[in-house]
């Protein structure tokens, strides 16, 4: 904001390149880790590109929305979970299992984030209540509500149109309709399902009990957090 | 332009990351080449950042201007010249000599480009005559003229102020003043000096006669071209 868009874009490019430098400075281990990073960057870019393409589009379906979130959040946690094992020449089965663990956990994280963006307590989250609803964001619970085939979903579609609620009264009504159409329940169930898939992937990793316990604790926290 | 700034930025990030993937797909040779690429990217970013910071700044001196051009063009040709030798485990002396060759040649290339942007024949360059003058660009010949301490340089500074010429008549006058203040002569001499430095670096590389001949021919073409 202070230095302008151009300098901000350059700073982003510099930090991306520095991430490669950091890995290169760690010899063979860093080189083995590099493909994890480039794969994650490509998926992040793809997800962000989808997100931009969806802006102002009323016809986003749930599959497209989840694919976008898999790129934007799933890939980041997948890379974070797998890159250490890749660096120390872990077996393919271990690296792949940790990648799937992170990818599924990232989806669970994002779905919980989406719910908190609609229902979260502003004192705890630091965002205003219904902040995503106010911004007209088509997060997964909103898309689930819009495509639910329910009366509430149709009323929500009519209310939002291609844009965002026009007043605080409309924000409150939209938040109620997302809930009534089942969008929040769907997202909570999907987050639980993704957590289950993440924990199943951990079993395939055949980890010793101490790191297994830490990762399970981390995974459960991600889904149960309120901020 | 067609898909908007956001998608364009993402496409740039994707291509940068793909460049690393391309090198990674070539095993050890690619890994040895990677530091050349990251170093060039950092210098490019630094030069572009300087260029943005200089926009609308009347007080850019010649050293800052040349440092900016070293980043924006020198690093690109330095990387291009040295990366092959780095990939095949060339001696440090060879890689460093080729890097200096490309860096100096890049400066010569940019200085000739700056001259053509002021005096180039629009039929040959494909740009309008005086295109850089019309855009108010503070390229090296313009900065040399502005800081020449000549009467023409002071008249040029008064004419341009912090901006660009207001009319075609002012574009013609500014072009004449850049020449009269010695900006074009300075840039031509500096381009020749850089070409000399590039050719001296090639001698340090101790190349066989066939590639030496090709690189000398290429270097001379860069400075003698008219488009």
Total number of domains in chain B: 1
Closest residue on chain B to A33 (Cα):
B24
Candidate from A115-129, A150-164, A199-213, B31-45 with smallest mean pLDDT = A115-129
Verify whether the Cβ–Cβ distance B20 to A24 is below 8 Å: no
Q: What is the pLDDT at residue B136?
A: 83
Closest residue on chain B to A7 (Cα):
B49
| Model confidence pLDDT, tens digit, residues A124-134 | 666 667 888 88
Q: Give CA B135 to chain center in angstroms.
A: 18
**pLDDT (mean) for B15-23:** 95
Residue positions counted in chain B: 227
Whether ipTM tops 0.85, in short, is no
B223: number of CA atoms within 13 Å, CB side? 22
Cβ–Cβ under 8 Å, residues B225 and B112: yes
pTM of the model: 0.84
| Model confidence pLDDT, tens digit, residues B44-76 | 999 999 988 887 676 788 999 999 999 989 999
**pLDDT (mean) for B30-57:** 91
User: Which residues constitute the domain of residue A207?
Assistant: 5-224
B123: number of CA atoms within 13 Å, CB side? 0
* Site from B52, B56, B75, B79 to mutate, A interface, most A CB atoms within 10 angstroms: B52
Nearest-angstrom CA–CA distance, A205 and A222:
20
How much of chain A, in percent, has pLDDT values that exceed 90?
Answer: 78
A16 contacts chain B (CB < 8 A): yes
Q: What is the pLDDT at residue A227?
A: 65
Closest CA to A116 of A102, A126, A106: A126
| Model confidence pLDDT, tens digit, residues A13-64 | 999 999 999 999 999 999 999 999 999 999 999 999 998 888 767 678 899 9
Q: Using CB atoms, which residue from A14, A38, A48 is nearest to B21?
A: A38
Q: What is the pLDDT at residue A51?
A: 87
Cβ–Cβ under 8 Å, residues B109 and B220: no
Question: What is the CATH classification number for the domain harbouring B41?
Answer: 1.10.600.10
Closest CA to A96 of A180, A39, A159, A54: A39
């Amino acid at each position: 904001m202070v230095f302008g868009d151009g300098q901000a874009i350059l700073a982003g490019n510099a930090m991306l390149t520095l991430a490669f430098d950091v890995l290169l400075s760690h010899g063979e281990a860093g080189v083995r880790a590099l493909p994890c990073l480039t794969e994650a960057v490509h998926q992040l870019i793809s997800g962000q590109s989808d997100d931009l393409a969806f802006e102002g589009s009323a016809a986003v379906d749930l599959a497209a929305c989840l694919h976008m979130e898999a790129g934007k959040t799933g890939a980041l946690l997948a890379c974070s979970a797998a890159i250490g094992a890749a660096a120390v020449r872990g077996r393919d089965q271990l690296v792949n299992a940790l990648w799937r663990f992170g990818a599924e956990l990232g989806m669970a994280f994002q779905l919980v984030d989406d719910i908190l963006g609609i229902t979260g307590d502003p004192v705890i989250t630091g965002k205003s209540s219904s902040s995503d609803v106010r911004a007209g964001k088509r997060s997964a619970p909103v898309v689930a509500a819009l495509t639910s085939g329910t009366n509430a979903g149709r009323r929500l579609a009519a209310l939002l149109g291609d844009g965002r609620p026009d007043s605080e009264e409309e924000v409150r009504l939209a938040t109620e309709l997302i809930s009534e159409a089942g969008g929040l329940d769907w997202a909570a169930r999907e987050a639980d399902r993704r957590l289950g898939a993440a924990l199943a992937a951990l079993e395939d990793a055949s980890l010793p009990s101490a790191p297994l316990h830490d990762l399970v604790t981390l995974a459960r926290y991600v889904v149960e957090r309120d901020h």
